[in-house]
Amino acid sequence: MFGTVAVPVWLLGLILGFAAISFSTHFLFPSVRWFFRRRAEKALSRLNARLDRKIDLFKLAQRSDMVARLAYDQKVVEAAMVHAAETGVPGEVAFEEARRYAREIVPGFSATVYFGFGTRAAKWLSRLLFRVRVGKVDQALRTIDPRAAVVFVMNHRSNMDYVLVTWLVADRSAVSYAVGEWARVWPLSALIRSMGAYFIRRGSRNALYRKVLARYVQMATEEGTTQAIFPEGGLSLDGRVGPPKLGLISYIVEGWSPHSRDVVFVPVGLAYDRVLEDRVLVEAAKAGTRRFRNRPVRVAWLAARFLWARFRGRTKGFGTAAAGFGAPVSLREHLGAGGTVEHLGERLMAAIAEVVPVLPVPLVARALGEGAASREELGARVEAMVGRLRAAGAVLKLPPVGGATVLDEGLEPLIRRGLVSADLKPVAGTRELLEFYAASVPNIHVAAPPQT
């Protein structure tokens, strides 16, 4: 029993290796996981103590568990069986397709990445590029039931929208975005997933995919996850707030019942003195397509040139970026009053359009029109427009000193970019860009100033 046993060195190595693996998986790894889990739970408790809307358990679940929960959802399984019957594929194949869609959609939220890196990076980038002027976020959220699921609905002006809103509500909640296929590239996709965003295929006609997406949105809403969506379904090509595409909104409404927690939509209007993708969007509008040309080398060159100029103090950025917040819309009250999904979409887009801020560059672009005889005439037009807009209740995010400063902040960038000549005339070939910016200003008629 206590005799010596001789074994080859390679076999001894295997025995010790398996022993080490067994010790690690059964004793070491669980202890390490418990240690870090305890630290994470304490950090999350401190984080939730300062957030108006707590991070829900739905966000914190393991991604693999969420994928399984979504794939095995009764309605998803039923949709997979219907898909199998319609297409003639085996049930196992249809179910695996549903699982693939679930893995594609479900994010992997990390509170550490979101609050430790994401919100700080968003704040830094926003301030690097723009002068940020914000509406009263607290007033928009103060009256909302803490148990309600909040959905921010926004106009889509730029891909900076994600960055700007992430920072603006960072002290109140973690926001889960619906992002398009543009973001499904490595390593950007991994970062976006860890920020709690979920990917959607815009315009997909696959019924099984739509059911899996609908169930994910409904499950997130049922759990009270704070979400952010762009009802327009894509970037605005003409600068206006477009009509709603009811996909995600209809999923939320279809999954809601009077016994569920309320869903509160918060309209958010976003505006920029400079939309970074403006020329690309205008070209797409002229071509009548949403196929945007990807120019990574040019983008990298322009970014490097801007950073060099910014850190040398040669530029102060791209002007103002601003957000306005509208009155919350309760889904319970809307449906209780006999409202429909279509009416809800129209109501939300109208509310968003009302709170899109008026900024100096779009204001001057609108006042410029066909041109101005003098700077004084243009200044008079701008002042008249400001008065009319203020009387109409528009959201104005202009320099507090007003007057000549508004004109300077609006006109100088247009001249510097070569959109307006020194004699205040639109430069040939740039009219579409000027109209793109002017379109974001409410269409309020302003009489011409009296001639002196």
Q: What distances in angstroms separate CA 80 from CA 73, 98, 101, 104, 345, one per listed residue?
A: 11, 7, 11, 16, 29
Would you say residue 172 has pLDDT above 90? no
pLDDT band for position 343 (cuts 50, 70, 90): very high
C-alpha to C-alpha distance for 133 and 448, rounded to whole angstroms: 30
Identify the weakest region by mean pLDDT among 213-222, 289-298, 406-415, 433-442: 289-298
Comparing C-alpha atoms, which of 158, 159, 141 is closest to residue 150? 141
Domains of the chain: 108-276+318-355 (3.40.1130.10), 360-438 (no CATH)
The conformation of residue 178, written as its DSSP 8-state character, comes to E
The pLDDT assigned to 32 comes to: 46
Rounded to two decimals, what is the model's pTM? 0.81
Q: For the residues 184-193, what does the mean pLDDT come to?
A: 60
Count of beta carbons in the 10 Å neighbourhood of residue 115: 18
What is the distance, to the nearest Å, from the Cα of residue 177 to the centroid of all Cα atoms in its chain? 5
Count of beta carbons in the 10 Å neighbourhood of residue 47: 17
The pLDDT assigned to 244 comes to: 92
The conformation of residue 441, written as its DSSP 8-state character, comes to S
Comparing C-alpha atoms, which of 63, 136, 135, 142 is closest to residue 105? 63
Count of beta carbons in the 10 Å neighbourhood of residue 148: 18
Helix ranges restricted to H, 358-449: 360-368, 375-391, 404-416, 431-438
What is the distance, to the nearest Å, from the Cα of residue 207 to the centroid of all Cα atoms in its chain? 25
Q: Which two tokens stand for residue 380?
A: 């008079």
15-39 pLDDT tens trace: 666 666 665 555 544 554 444 445 5
Vertex 288 angle, CA 287 and 293, to 5°: 55
C-alpha to C-alpha distance for 340 and 31, rounded to whole angstroms: 53
41-83 pLDDT tens trace: 455 455 455 555 555 555 555 677 788 889 889 999 999 999 9
C-alpha to C-alpha distance for 295 and 402, rounded to whole angstroms: 39
Q: To the nearest 10°, the Cα dihedral for 22, 25, 28, 30?
A: -150
Please say whether the beta carbons of 173 and 138 come within 8 A.
Answer: no
Would you say residue 230 has pLDDT above 70? yes
268 beta partners: 154, 325
What is the distance, to the nearest Å, from the Cα of residue 31 to the centroid of all Cα atoms in its chain? 38
99-130 pLDDT tens trace: 999 988 888 766 666 677 778 888 888 888 89
Q: Which two tokens stand for residue 368?
A: 């410029």
The pLDDT assigned to 191 comes to: 63
What is the distance, to the nearest Å, from the Cα of residue 279 to the centroid of all Cα atoms in its chain? 21
